[in-house]
Amino acid sequence: MDLEIKGQRFIVCGASSGFGRAIAELLLDEGAHVIAVARREEKLNELQETYPDATDIVVGDLTDDDTHNNIEAAIGNEQLHGVVINAGGPPALSPLETALYDWDQAYENVMRWKVALVLRLVSYFTSKEYGRILFVESQSVKQPIASLVLSNSFRAGIVGFAKSLSQEIAGNGVTVNVLAPGSHDTPAIERVIQKKVDSSDKSYEEVKEEMEAAIPVGRFGKGEEIASLAGWVLSPHASYVTGQTISHDGGSIKGTFG
């Protein structure tokens, strides 16, 4: 399928690895222009070297207002067609393992910057009556994950924000959606596996094999698989899809509306 995004411009947050990198590469392969944002400059440089005429990079911490300023500077006077709000998750902790400090930090790292950046960017879309806002969160927004209470809590808050925003700007041709990925073979899964290792007498490989066996399809997902879904949601083909939280979990969520 031709996604019809050739020449369009997208911001991809967390583009140095994992979901962000996979989505950025798919968009670039489809002929789009990407403003890639992350902290690891060497990884962004690699992306730019591969797609030199279609990639701008912004190096910085997404929780920092200066990074948001630099993102706006990279947009310049060009039309912006979409943004992928994505970054790593908070530490793996159970409720009783947390202190208030952990909650304050998780709010900054998982929720606050996303709301702040989207509120900055909304007018770029509404003024042109076209836009795609896509959050990449976690299946924990539909089914809480043990020992991930901070992710369970603040990612659910993002879903509430996304749904509310989608209702307000749908008439302006702007969609707002959330992807809820389950376990994928990306660096982010390593902290979950290690948490299980630390609380058991099992090896890393044993824990990983058990986690994969518990997924109905029998394996972790791949970055390029969720990227293909993200590409469609970000495209003109998805103009009637908004306010949705779409699972990509290999059947892991047990609820009827998973």
Q: Residues 38-55: pLDDT tens digits?
A: 999 999 999 999 999 999
Average pLDDT on 111-129 reads 98
* 130 has pLDDT over 90: yes
Average pLDDT on 90-108 reads 96
Largest CA distance in the chain: 57
* 147 has pLDDT over 80: yes
Average pLDDT on 82-90 reads 95
Sheet containing strand 55-59, strands side by side: 55-59, 33-38, 9-13, 82-85, 131-136, 174-181, 245-248
* 134 has pLDDT over 80: yes
Confidence band of 59 (pLDDT split at 50, 70, 90): very high
Contact at 8 Å (CB) between 121 and 83?
Answer: yes
pLDDT in the model for residue 258: 84
Confidence band of 146 (pLDDT split at 50, 70, 90): confident
Average pLDDT on 203-210 reads 90
* 188 has pLDDT over 80: no
Q: What is the DSSP letter of 96?
A: G
* 194 has pLDDT over 90: no
pLDDT in the model for residue 60: 98
For 127-160, give one letter per residue: b (16+ CB within 10 A) or e: eeebbbbbbbbbbbbbbebebbbbbbbbbbbbbe
pLDDT in the model for residue 105: 97
